[in-house]
Amino acid sequence: MKHTISVLVENKFGVLARVSGLFSARGFNIDSLAVGETEDPTVSRMTIVSEGDEKTLEQIKKQLNKLIDVIKVHDYVGKSFIEKELLLLKVNITPKTRKEIIEIVESSGGKIANAGSKMLTIEATGDEIQIEALIKLLKPFGIRELVRTGRIAIGTEQEITLGNNKEPKTKNLKPKKKE
């Protein structure tokens, strides 16, 4: 089963390596990974898409929660959420195919980011199915280059909002002695 997991982490050096290491240590491939700051610049949201059995993914989530820099872990399986990714794609054009390609892009909700005499750069956002469909439609024209972001996701409910409730975890910290 495919899981989309949101991990709120403190925006610090090495956190990405520790989080991704938990997946690789258990033999799970990360299908998609996107990381970016949240509304609080000291906190980043990692959106991780991985496929695997429930038992192992539950163990990974428990291990993630134990990492000191992890604030919150949320698996969107069975939850309502919005998921998007960004596509930038360069496609070959000729005077004969230019109009057809532009119509395909616009009908797919994309836009032309750059236009040359022999190539168009396309920008599109959508879920995985929409992005795959656009790529399939443009493939016969000759795709020169393609790059995709990792998927990002946000719940439609208020369940993992950072808000003002951020409480970073601390480990082995002793209170300062009062002088």
d(CA 150, CA 112): 21
What amino acid occupies position 118?
K
Residue 18 CA from chain centroid, whole number: 17
Angle between helices 54-66 and 15-25 (to 10 degrees): 150
Write out the two tokens for 177: 């002695």
Q: Give me the CATH code for the 82-152 domain, please.
A: 3.30.70.1150
pLDDT at 161: 52
pLDDT at 176 over 50: no
**Segments making up each domain of the chain, as ranges:** 2-78, 82-152
pTM, 2 dp = 0.79
Q: What CATH architecture is 2-78?
A: 2-Layer Sandwich (3.30)
Condensed to tens digits (0 to 9), the pLDDT of residues 85-101 reads 999 999 999 999 999 99
Q: Do domains 2-78 and 82-152 have the same CATH topology?
A: yes
Task: Tell me the per-residue pLDDT of 39-58, one tens digit each, with 9 for 90 and over.
Answer: 999 999 999 999 888 888 88
Give me the pLDDT at residue 52, please: 81
Q: With contact defined as beta carbons under 8 Å apart, do 36 and 2 qualify? A: no
pLDDT in tens, 116-171: 999 999 999 999 999 999 999 999 999 999 999 999 999 988 655 555 444 544 44
Cβ burial of 179 (10 Å; 0-12, 13-18, 19+) is exposed
Query: What pLDDT shows up at residue 159?
Result: 57
